[in-house]
Amino acid sequence: MPRWVMVIDLDKCVGCQGCSIACRFENNTPVVKPSEALKGRAVRWNDVFPLPVNPTEETGDFPNVKTRYLTRPCMHCDNPPCIKVCPVQATFKNEEGIVEQNYARCIGCRFCTVACPYGVRYFNWHAPEWEGALQATPLLPAEYLNPDRIEGGGVLEGPAVRPKGVVEKCTFCLHRLQKARARAKAEGRDFRADEYVPACVQTCTGKARFFGDLDDPNSTVSLLAKSPRAFRLLEEVGTHPKVIYLREG
Amino acid sequence: MAAPFTRRQFLKLAATTGASAAAMTGLQTVLASGAAHASSGEIVTAAEEQIVPGVCLLCPSGCGVLARVADGRVVKMEGNPMHPINLGALCPKGQAAPELLYNPDRLTGPMRRIGERGSSQWESITWDEAVQLVAQKLNDLRAAGHPERAVLMYGETRGQLRAFLERFFQTVGSPNTISRESLNVAAAKLGTYLTQGIYDLPAYDLEHANYVLSFGASLLEAGRLPQRMVSGYSFLRRGRADRGKVVVIDPRQGVTGAKADEWIPIIPGTDAALALGMAHVLIRAGLFDSDFTHHYAFGFDDFADGEGKLHQGFKSIVLDHYDPARVEQITGVPATTISRLAGEFAGGKPAIAILPGKGGLLNGSLNGLYAAIAIHCLNALVGSIETRGGVMTQRYPTVPDWPPLPADPTAESGRNVERADGAGALFPLARHAYQAVADRILEGYPVEALFLYDANPVYEVPGGARFVEAFDKIPFVVSFSSFMDESAQYADLVLPEPTFLERYQDDYIEGLGYPGIALRQPVIAPRHDTLNVGDFFLRVAAAMGDPVAQAFPWRAYEDVLQYRLRDVGTDWETLKELGVWMTPGYRFTRRGSERWVNEVVGADRLNAPRDGRFDFYSRELHALLGGLSNEQQAALGLSQTSDVVSLPHHEPVTYAGDESEYPFLLNVITLMSLGPYSAAANLPTLQEITGMTVGETWDSWLEMNPEAADELGLRDKDPVWVESPFGKARTKVRLVKALRPEVVNLPYNQGHSAVGRWARDRGVNGMALLNPKSEPAAGLAAFTNTRVKVYRASHIADG
């Protein structure tokens, strides 16, 4: 059973936000109205932002200023605080370590969004309200919506269009994993861990993202995880993230 | 569409529609056979899927894309892993392309104006009517003996389209095909031409470079080929054992400077002095490539011309005038830093000094051009021309010649008339002077039919509003825009072209040196009643009758492409299937060899000898400007005379606006998110992520150093007016430490008054504040020579 891990090399990341938008089109995250975006309610499962967030707090004074940029998917913690607070088991860690979110069970209490120390859980404050062909409501999907979804048996997951009032988050593109598995099975062979990457990894302009099985000692991610540059976000809070960063320089 | 399919329903469907089975990809077969699942839900997907290759056109990089077409709809864009520019990657603009394709503000068919100009009253017409109207107009111009009064202004004409459109206008009899390059790459192209003798952007072998010195221009965000640069940068950083060093020289740090190993915040407009200061150190220390400077270059040392007259060479001007102590005074870069950079540049070979595609160099005086020359001379000085890890010369696929133009005295006389933009005459060094077309028309150059292809001059040039006045003098304006942009609003005919996902168009692969071709094709049938501009002009040619029709024996633009691409090394079907074809691997030429002389150094020279020598002393400039009187030279913005005119040197920038009244320099910056093209501003996703670096969204902002803001009593996010001698705009100030205190930045591609619901009335357009005057010698638009003042705006009006 693979243990899925993402490695992000910040020395190669150029802050282009390709990951953010690849995720949007892969997972059907809505565009929110400008007024909502200003309130910080934009839904991008993998956001990119400067560190420090407020540019006036940049380290150093002109000309010795250093700005950094961080790209941030769900950390898919091995010890995820979000699943412990969910009163309805709408979010859970599966046997391969991916933290899933079932929209069909979610009651929108937002405990998980508060519990998550990384701020990567997004609440649908409104049903998307766009006009014309770009309209993306559950009733009338936009023409370019990704048709993939995971459903049935009380489950609604993945790129399935979410109703208002539920929480959503990065799934490591779980539906891509399921499709890759199905393809391998149909072709009568074993599934290999390198047959699947999330959309953000596929699109990364700087080739900064790597994805794979941490239990395979020869996988790229296993090798990179041993790099002296490797670190995890907020390691001290005991969440054991499965997104590993490689620092710059 | 898309009622959710369950697997059971899907199986039923698959069983009853046997005919579609052949079109099903492996995955659907899979689902029918029952899938393994990680969760209790089951994966549901489209009934029928295809992956169709194409080429993105939301910036000039030209990344290969693969469109995922599910049940006839484009649902996802991926990078084409076979395309060498992006290697499977795709930036946010490319990812957001479905919002362009399905944009509700796209024009749905050809239209003719019925109300006043600009009154937005239109009637639909058929393509046949449009063809007839244009053919009639052009025939009338030919009959009147003035075919040159038909003018085409164009932006991105990829692959064969530029040659095709030029051929059309030449056949009609007009020399007036005017490229937007004077707004972006012309300074860098001219810099390369005046030294290396190649009129093109150099290609840089970043993958093997050890030391990269980037002069301005946001290499990783918004240069000419951002994705090419990102791919190269990424490999240089961590794709190989030894990590290369990147140094960014720019008044603004930006993302590129932040990601670099070192950021040098230079005083704007002084890049030439810094490059020459480095050259000074290299020459003094003997760190230059003397084999190159003596055997394959011209004018490094002082020399005597054919008449025995002595001339000053590069070495003596650099040693006399650019010692680091003096350069520190000019550039604000410490002398020790200059010496260190020079040492690293020569000691860390292979090293490259990169020319910016736009921005800093386009500063409204000859300064920018000399900066391009000086920067490129650094490459020559350390012998990086045509070496691994250095500068390559872009090659293109072999294409057959067009059939000869029919003999036609009307067209021949028209083609010899002076151009509408003044390139080559008023602007002696220019090939194109896009922004100057309005001035020329207002000064009386007669234009009777103006065609705008990927051109929105009303918005995109400094002081673009004068194009509206210029349009008033033109009886017939045609726009091919897919959106009702600021310029199309004032057109008489709007003939929308399909988006890049719905049309045939080839694309040269640029930036890697070796030749390659990529192909756009309709990944889905065109959604609206649009017509490829190539097909449109083919139909116009046919309707015009001979001799114009004779020159265009093709039925469709697709046939034109098949004709022109027959020798690229693959057949049409393979090209359609793969989307890209190339001959990978750049073949470096030996110095002085036949290929060196024919392809690498001097091949494009029109006046100077094509002798395979790199000009430290530009013989081309000497031929064009050397013979002018001192007064004439001064009129072109030259403060120097005699030999210095032909040598790289620092020319002080002349700024518009008095420093005491307008203390800041305005820098209009292009963002990775919105990019350089107007249509992108109408993609809501790109609007949402536009201001990532400062946490802004859906708006403009003005970046200012906190110390400068402090002196003005401004706090972060305060509403401000930015005012230049040419206009003012209201936005909010954002404090950014990584910026020179005398510079303020305003992002480009906001402040549209048209295009669509998401672009309109949002933020401000910095172009309206910039100096509209063209640079007098090379016809470059001025981007960085405008001073502004910034003051608090009233909170009451703060919406």
Which of A58, A65, A185 faces B30 most closely, judged by CB atoms?
Answer: A185
So what's the pLDDT on residue B12? Answer: 42
Interface mutation vs chain B, best among A32, A61, A62, most B CBs within 10 Å: A62
**Could you report the per-residue pLDDT of B632-658, keeping only the tens digit for each?**
988 888 888 889 999 999 999 989 999
Contact pairs from chain A to chain B, CB under 8 Å:
278
Mind listing the pLDDT tens digit of every residue in chain A (249 residues)? 899 999 999 999 999 999 999 999 999 998 888 888 888 888 999 999 998 877 677 678 888 888 899 999 999 999 999 999 999 999 999 999 999 999 999 999 999 999 999 999 999 988 766 555 555 444 445 788 899 999 998 999 999 988 889 999 999 999 999 999 999 999 999 999 999 999 999 999 999 999 999 999 999 999 999 999 999 999 999 999 999 999 997
Mean pLDDT over B79-101 rounds to 96
**Could you report the per-residue pLDDT of B771-789, keeping only the tens digit for each?**
999 999 999 999 889 999 9
Q: B197 with B602: CB under 8 angstroms?
A: yes
Angle at B136 between CA B131 and CA B140, to 5 degrees: 155
The letter for the amino acid at B323 is: D
Name every residue whose Cβ is closer than 8 Å to that of residue B9 and which is 6 or more positions away in sequence. Answer: none
Q: Which runs of consecutive H residues, i.e. helices, occur in B548-629? A: 557-564, 572-578, 594-595, 619-621
Q: B153 with B459: CB under 8 angstroms?
A: no
Reported as type and span, the H/E element at residue B337 is helix B335-347
Question: What distance in Å separates the CA atoms of residue A155 and residue A150, rounded to the nearest whole number?
Answer: 7
- Could A144 and B75 be called an inter-chain contact, meaning their C-beta atoms sit closer than 8 Å? yes
Question: What distance in Å separates the CA atoms of residue B168 and residue B560, rounded to the nearest whole number?
Answer: 13
ipTM value of the model? 0.95
Place of tokens 């049940």: B71
Say whether pLDDT at B31 is over 50: no
**Could you report the per-residue pLDDT of B160-195, keeping only the tens digit for each?**
999 999 999 999 999 999 999 999 999 999 999 999
Query: B31: which chain A residues are within 8 Å (Cβ-Cβ)?
Result: 182
- The candidate with the shortest Cα–Cα distance to B227, out of A157, A160, A205, is A205
Q: A158 with A27: CB under 8 angstroms?
A: yes
Query: A18: which chain B residues are within 8 Å (Cβ-Cβ)?
Result: 89-92, 94-95
Q: Is A186 on the interface with B (CB under 8 A)?
A: yes
- Could B693 and A15 be called an inter-chain contact, meaning their C-beta atoms sit closer than 8 Å? yes
So what's the pLDDT on residue B2? Answer: 41
Q: How confident is the model at residue B16 (pLDDT cuts 50, 70, 90)?
A: very low
Describe the strand order of the beta sheet including B505-508 as a list of residue ranges. B505-508, B516-520, B580-582
Please, what is the average pLDDT of chain B? 92
* Minimal CA separation from A194 to chain B, in Å: 16
